[in-house]
Amino acid sequence: MLVTDDTVDPVLGVGAAELAEAKGRRWFHRSGALAAAGTYAWHDLNRTLQYGNLGPDQVRLVGGDTPAGELFRVAVAGGSRTFCRIVPEAVHQALATGGTLVIDQLDLVDPWADHVARALAGVFTTRVQANLYASLSGAPGFGLHQDTHDVFVVQGSGKKHWTLESDDGTAQVTMAPGDVLYLPEGTAHDVATDAEGSLHITFAIPRPNVQELLAWTIAGSRDAQMLTALDGSDPEAAAAALTGLTHRTGEAEVGMFLEEGVDRGMAPSFVNLPHAVRDTAELAGKPGLVARRSFVGVLPDGSDDHARVLACLSATGETAVSELLALDGVDEPLTVVRDLARRGLISLSER
């Protein structure tokens, strides 16, 4: 049972229904869909560079005169333990000489990016990754190219000029802070940076395909025929075994495949210490305790009470735990709330 939240509009600037309708079919641009102050800007990048504990495998440079290896230096943290620390001067030099700074998996180090990625995961039923692109004036684009996944773009600072090629012809789009853009897989595009520089975040949405479903089905099959050695003299037997397996793959199996992908990729980001380890009496005795839910999470079948509690929660606002404990139609709501906290499907905090 896949649990999603359809009220993604405040986070994405567009509704789940509109995204679902456009999914894989057409691109669209929404001007001013989000409040620019509520997205990700240069000051957020400064904080990420300082406190994000970024490593060389997460940071890239495209263009410019600064080698990517110069972005980091080896630092010592007590004894002989070493780690890589980003060098601010090298970042400044890279951007000043026309380079574009790329941070992969921004959703792992920034709460806003994680929030948007989870909202998109709930709509597209797949793991979503956020990547940041920052450049100053004169930075070249990557040339006209296509991505092998859908892309959702949020403009954080400055302006970015996009050239889009589709079956409907060529379109020019200028992204300003707060704008969002959706590109289906295969939409050819090129970008150019405005004179004041640009910072934008792309959310890569790799939609699951039939090949991945087939590989998952075979890997999880307990059919003894799948382990039978191939007989070159009887290829029909092998073909029949594979055909039989695919015929037994129904709607339920496809649902399990999608849920496993989301559950594995969008790991819960809430720790909830110390509340999740309190006994039920202590949890009930916290009058200022509030709950907030993740956009996407997977519950096992039969967890109806858990789903009812999640349905009462918002991912963009807080709900008093006392209200959840008073829900009608939920057996042992206190146990359910604590279980959701332990699973990381809700976050608990004190006002």
**Comparing 36 with 155, which gets the higher pLDDT?**
155
Largest separation between any pair of C-alpha atoms in the chain: 74
Q: Is the peptide bond before 268 cis (omega within 30 degrees of 0)?
A: no
Average pLDDT over residues 179-201: 94
Q: Which of 244, 258, 252, 253 is nearest to 220 (CA)?
A: 253
Average pLDDT over residues 257-282: 76
Range from 115-124, 137-146, 168-177 that averages highest in pLDDT: 168-177
What is the per-residue pLDDT across 73-124, written as a single tens digit (0 to 9) for each?
988 877 778 888 999 889 999 999 889 999 999 999 999 999 899 889 888 8
261, two tokens? 């992908």
Q: Which pLDDT does position 265 carry in this prediction?
A: 64
Q: Which pLDDT does position 88 carry in this prediction?
A: 87
Q: Which pLDDT does position 31 carry in this prediction?
A: 97
Q: Which pLDDT does position 170 carry in this prediction?
A: 95
What is the per-residue pLDDT across 18-61, written as a single tens digit (0 to 9) for each?
998 999 999 999 999 999 999 999 999 999 999 998 999 999 99
Q: What does pTM read for this prediction?
A: 0.86
First-last CA distance in the chain: 32
Average pLDDT over residues 324-334: 89
Share of the chain above pLDDT 70, in %: 91
Q: Which pLDDT does position 44 carry in this prediction?
A: 97
Phi and psi dihedrals of 16, rounded to 5? -60, -35
Residues in Cβ contact with 275 at an 8 Å cutoff, skipping those fewer than 6 apart: 283, 286, 289, 341, 348
β-bridge partners, 157 = 199
pLDDT band, residue 225 (cuts 50/70/90)? low
Q: Which pLDDT does position 232 carry in this prediction?
A: 73
What is d(CA 299, CA 126) in angstroms, rounded to the nearest whole number?
15
Q: 3-class secondary structure for the chain?
A: CEEECCCCHHHHCCCHHHHHHHCCCCCEEECCCCCHHHCCCHHHHHHHHHHCCCCCCCEEEECCCCCHHHHEEEEECCCCCEEEEECHHHHHHHHHCCCEEEECCHHHCCHHHHHHHHHHHHHHCCCCEEEEEEECCCCCCCCCECCCCEEEEEEEEEEEEEEEEECCEEEEEEECCCCEEEECCCCEEEEEEEEEEEEEEEEEECCCCHHHHHHHHHHCCCCHHHHCCCCCCCHHHHHHHHHHHHHCCCHHHHHHHHHHHHHHHCCCCCCCCCHHHCCHHHHHCCCCEEEEECCEEECCCCCHHHHHHHHCCCCCCCEEHHHHHCCCCCCCHHHHHHHHHHHCCEEEEEC
Average pLDDT over residues 191-195: 89
Average pLDDT over residues 292-298: 77
Q: Which pLDDT does position 228 carry in this prediction?
A: 66
91, two tokens? 């970042």
Tell me which of 1-5, 135-139, 216-220, 248-252 is least confident. 1-5
Average pLDDT over residues 231-253: 76
Domains of the chain by start residue, with CATH: 2-74+81-205 (2.60.120.650), 210-265 (no CATH), 275-350 (no CATH)
pLDDT band, residue 137 (cuts 50/70/90)? confident
